[in-house]
A and B are shown apart, each in its own frame.
Chain A
Amino acid sequence: EAQVTQNPRYLITVTGKKLTVTCSQNMNHEYMSWYRQDPGLGLRQIYYSMNVEVTDKGDVPEGYKVSRKEKRNFPLILESPSPNQTSLYFCASSSWVGELFFGEGSRLTVL
């Protein structure tokens, strides 16, 4: 079954404690991206990757890092989380300009 898998789905953490949200896709897609969703603001792109070792900033990259060492994985790293990073995060993948396939979302709370 074609899917995008994110982990963890839910996480409560404290300010400054590094965390990683993993994302994996099994569709051999070149393109992967991370979004955050906040009330009234819609989906905002954090980072995206066109292929292995190729990443670029989206609209709201501050406070986040990503890596793309393998085609299937695109982890999102919060080196020092802050409360303003409390949000619902989605990972997505697609073939070039094809439809995006989204993961189930990761709800993060930073206290």
Chain B
Amino acid sequence: NFMLTQPHSVSESPGKTVTISCTRSSGSVVSSYVQWYQQRPGSSPTTVIYEDNQRPSGVPDRFSGSIDSSSNSASLTISGLKTEDEADYYCQSYDSTFWVFGGGTKLTVL
């Protein structure tokens, strides 16, 4: 089994751009798609990126996803930060018959 490691927390100011990383411990990050989920306090998660860089309908294009094979990691980038983006963000990928989630990153917009 592999692990997905995320920074525990990140912070940035409104209007700025922030990038959250998700590093795969073993196996290649390009071998299986990565998803990203947003969870605001007291709410259920929502999907902001699926299949590395696809946005579900209704998700603003301020959210983007990418993969870097050199660092074996995926990234979620949020531009034009808004206070409503303050939330926990989780990456997720899979291996054969099971899914793996990262530990989550708390984004503070201050």
A binds B: no
